[in-house]
Amino acid sequence: MLTTVATLFSGGGGFDVGAVAAGLTPVFAIDNCPKAAAAYRVNFQDHIVVGDICSQDFSKVTADHLHASPVCKNFSTAKTGAAESEFDLACASAVCRAIAQIKPRTFSLENVRGYAKSDSFLKIVTTLKSLGYNPAFRVLNSADYGVPQTRKRLILLGKLGDRPRFPETTHQKPTVQQGLFPKPNWISWYDAIADLIPTLKETHLAPWQRFRVDHDCLVSNSNRVCGWTEVQRVDRSKPSFVIDATAKLNKVCLIEKVGARSDRPLREILNDRPVPTLKALGQDGHWEQWIISNGVKILQTDMRCLARWQSFPGWYELPTARPVACSIIGNSVPPLLAQRILEVNYDH
């Protein structure tokens, strides 16, 4: 039976949250970001190491399961022209060394889809095979497992002496034809935060921002080119709550990134769909911005909303600094996905 878990590139402990929900106890973690490690300590015991994974000795670490989420920025489609670096390869070598020294019964790795084409990935898979593990990998969509976010990530699993198992999906896209044993539709952004909406603060956008929201998103019925850019729309809608008592619209939508950049499309997400992939925007003062509009009031989402969309439970305590909290959320494995992965490989 799997009882303990160690994590590499642990951040604020998203995977560890899922491990706890699956019945495992975190016993070791390492990350090079002091602020992320501080958040980890608040939510878990003081077993996280702040340091460089490439120089860490893992010979004294004992754990049944080992998880790694190597830095993904050079493999993401969001970074144009990025290439695998010597640092990426060094991190992969450190992961291989951790596997060899810890000798866990099971292993998992999470990264963006592009990581599967890298030499780093090949190095880790080769190491697993040489140590007697059976590796297997797939790209999983978090929304298929109950996370209100269409986050697609490469998941590599390895198990000593046996084939690892991937969890069965628990939810499905609303447009998928229902079979004999239908699954619930994806959980929407609205369903995930409905109880938080009455507590959100109203935001007052600049005139040009308000025009963009009202004219482009709430008036336009089709994709069109206006003075800024083409509006991306979702074609399904359901009646929903009324933010303001004077509102006559039943159309409430979530709108992504109403910022200063005019070359970025506004993306309207109606209230029966999950959010797209949440991003870690770093700790330089930027954070993920979303607003909720029904044409009367415009509300600013907060870190609680982002945490819900990443499937963090209510007990997890986020840092008060929004950029740090956003970075932790965006860099995390959705805890619910981590839980599903561990549960199906839990040997009873």
- Residue located via tokens 């933010």: 243
Select which of 72, 96, 217, 326 is catalytic: 72
Residues 6+ apart with CB under 8 A from 261: none
Q: What is the DSSP string of 258-290?
A: -SS-TTSPPEEEETTS-B-------SSS----E
Q: Rounded distance, CA 145 to CA 167, Å?
A: 8
CA dihedral 7, 8, 10, 14 (to 10 degrees): -50
Does the active-site annotation cover 72?
Answer: yes
- Residue 160, classified by CB atoms within 10 Å of its CB into exposed (0-12), middle (13-18) or buried (19+), is middle
Q: Rounded distance, CA 342 to CA 106, Å?
A: 9
End-to-end CA distance of the chain: 6
Report, as residue numbers or ranges, the catalytic residues.
72
